[in-house]
Every structure is written in C-alpha cells, then in structure tokens.
Amino acid sequence: MAKNNFRGMPGGMNQAAMMKQAQKMQQELIRMQEEQENKVYTATAGGGMVSASVNGKHEVVELKINPEAVDPDDVEMLQDMVIAAVNEAMRAGDADAASNMSRLTGGLNLGGLF
C-alpha cells in the first residue's frame, strides 16, 4: 500500500493554517452578526407620512405616523403604508447583512453554511 504523504493543500496552506483561518473567519462572523443586530434601518412610505425603524434582529423599534395620514375613512391606506415602511426597512437590513457576508466570504456563495 502507498504511504500517505499528504503535505498540505496546494499553495502551501497546511491543515493547521486552514483551521486557523477558519477560526478567524468564524470570529469575524460572530462580530459581524452582533454588529448587525445592533444596527437600525429606517424606511418611509406614503411620501414620508409613515416611518418605520427595525433592528438587525427584525424587530420594529420605532414607528412614526404623521397625524395627517390618519383618516378614519381610509384606515386601509394607513395600514398599507405601515406594512410598506416596515417591509422596506427589513429589506434594507437584509441587504446590508448579505453585503457584509459577501465581504467576509470573499464573494463565495456558501449556500447557507453560515
């Protein structure tokens, strides 16, 4: 039988260096996740009549409604503006998280690995 003469990966990266790099990446990921959770994203709807702010944990942390937007005869429009503002703020947070992850992984698509 042939002896296993594994000397590491191409380019000289051995297993220990690869593990060290993976640990560094994991620490950076944890730091980025904590940072992401503390960020706040704000979006408006209805020409600024409704403003919603969410954090990186997808929690609504602030909701502002201009009194002029309150029309008892058209509650549905106000509801739609609130939903639109909250959804847009969440999309902004998700896009920021995806951008940060892309920078961490060097653009590699890890398919939900992290």
Would the CA dihedral through 67, 52, 47, 80 be positive or negative? negative
92's enclosing H/E stretch is helix 75-105
- Tell me the per-residue pLDDT of 62-106, one tens digit each, with 9 for 90 and over: 999 999 999 999 999 999 999 999 999 999 999 998 888 888 777
**Spatial separation of the C-alpha atoms in residues 62 and 64, rounded to whole Å:** 7
- State the CB neighbour count (10 A cutoff) for residue 104: 16
Give the model's confidence band at 19: pLDDT under 50 very low, under 70 low, under 90 confident, else very high.
confident
DSSP 69: G
Contacts of 80 (CB under 8 A, 6+ apart): 45
The answer to whether 36 and 56 are in contact (CB under 8 A) is: yes
Give the single-character DSSP code of 66. Answer: -
Instruction: Record the pTM.
Output: 0.69
49: number of Cβ within 10 Å = 19
